[in-house]
Structure 1
């Protein structure tokens, strides 16, 4: 595990985070509760700049970069196998504003881009247990969030009250966080300086909704994707013959069946 050179010198947080820094996490997920031996692994980045952060999967960034280049060149020839390999189980972006404390979750459903503000607080209980993880001296904390019990290990030596996914609010960077069942884990693997935080290409406007409304829309799509495609927002319509509809429904049912253990249970 690599530390940012400035951290090793012990410079204050104001200087450290005046520039952009990237914290790379390995994320392990057991998305199928009926096949707990099947563990999926991805890398995700927490990019931090003065006063804010953005969390996203590396695959999401790579796919977005490829699509951006194709739109610029007007050439939409791409390697389907490559794009399939870059599919992510974390197809979302989370932005945190340190001044206001707001956490904004962004994700797409078909061609619509949605955003909602996280409305649940994390009430952390700091525990006496300590551990050395990589080069970091950490302390354990516990919280209940979205239907799961979570344990986090934070490093007070890195004065950043942030972490992967929606996790934040501890007196130090979250180096590791996992749920009590062992279904999801975020482990810091690397920290480095970067020129600028990641930016994503977005087509169209973002639909801002309440969290409950987004979840309802997402659930409806998962239950009947064909209906969503034939009756989307903004005049987006696709006419499908019965065979197309059946294939889409079967494919979505199979994906839903294999992804029955989401990170947020409620």
Structure 2
């Protein structure tokens, strides 16, 4: 009986420690510099397990789930209003490996998935200022990254050197981080245990590039989406649309780009 009890205890402990942690953030974004009164908000998840983490938009995973279901059933007659409501301003996934200190950004440009490793260091200055945010006692830190000055509040109550987006490297979990202009803010709202960190459907092999190459491809698509289709391996998508559909898509993309002129990374 003692052996059985010990076995149950071991199994129970393994199940507990095999769980991943999910930290749920509200992300506030002013993506249009000409309309600073409009703030876009989304929910994002930071899933952490054994030193690895993945950060992604809730809308992204919901939208991908619907599309995957459509592939399985062959039914792509999605509710247009529902799909529109699941569009995200965070069309990327950030993966971090605490052991190797690697940060990867994965993002789609049309049907192609690109991956690049973030090579820029994030040098933090930890300040003496403290504050209580929600249930957490936090301390302030600052850094300059990608053209913005950021202030972060981290807690040592959660011994995880991670945070939303590409932010990491402080001696505790980042509870809040915002830029000095008030354009972007990540605020921790909830945390819970989950069975495992999220995985995402992958269409073919990802294209590994340098950050500069990814940004060039992204800009080419934003400036001229129709021409970009022919050069990024998306000819199938082009064939499936007639001239009128292509024109409508291009006009829609250009209007979206006009209103999304204030990216999180300025340089």
Q: TM (normalized to structure 2)?
A: 0.90
The CA RMSD over aligned residues, in Å, is 1.7
1:110 maps to which residue? Answer: 110
Q: What pairs up with 1:63-102 in 2 under 5 angstroms?
A: 63-102=63-102
Shift of 1:214: 0.1
SS in 1 for 2:247: helix
Aligned partners of 1:17 and 1:49 also within 8 Å: no
Shift of 1:224: 0.2
Q: Deviations over 1:96-153 (max 9, x none)?
A: 0111000000000000000000010000000111000000000000000000000000
1:21 maps to which residue? Answer: 21
Greater than 3 Å deviation, 4+ residue runs: 15-18, 234-237, 239-246
Q: Which moved more, 1:61-70 or 1:169-178?
A: 61-70
State the distance in 2 between where 1:177 and 1:121 align. 17
Shift of 1:201: 1.0
1:121 maps to which residue? Answer: 121
- Structure 1: 5+ residue stretches without partners: 1-14
SS in 1 for 2:129: strand
Q: Deviations over 1:205-224 (max 9, x none)?
A: 10000000000000000000
Q: TM (normalized to structure 1)?
A: 0.91
- Structure 2: 5+ residue stretches without partners: 1-14
Aligned partners of 1:105 and 1:115 also within 8 Å: yes
1:261 maps to which residue? Answer: 262
SS in 2 for 1:100: coil
SS in 2 for 1:31: coil
SS in 2 for 1:163: coil
Mark the structure with the bigger radius of gyration: 2
SS in 2 for 1:65: helix
Aligned partners of 1:230 and 1:237 also within 8 Å: no
2:7 maps to which residue? Answer: none
Aligned residues: 252
Greater share of helix: 2
Q: What pairs up with 1:127-146 in 2 under 5 angstroms?
A: 127-146=127-146
SS in 1 for 2:238: coil
Aligned partners of 1:17 and 1:50 also within 8 Å: no
2:12 maps to which residue? Answer: none
Q: Does 1:156 align with 2:153?
A: no
State the distance in 2 between where 1:153 and 1:223 align. 37
Q: Deviations over 1:147-171 (max 9, x none)?
A: 0000000001111000000000000
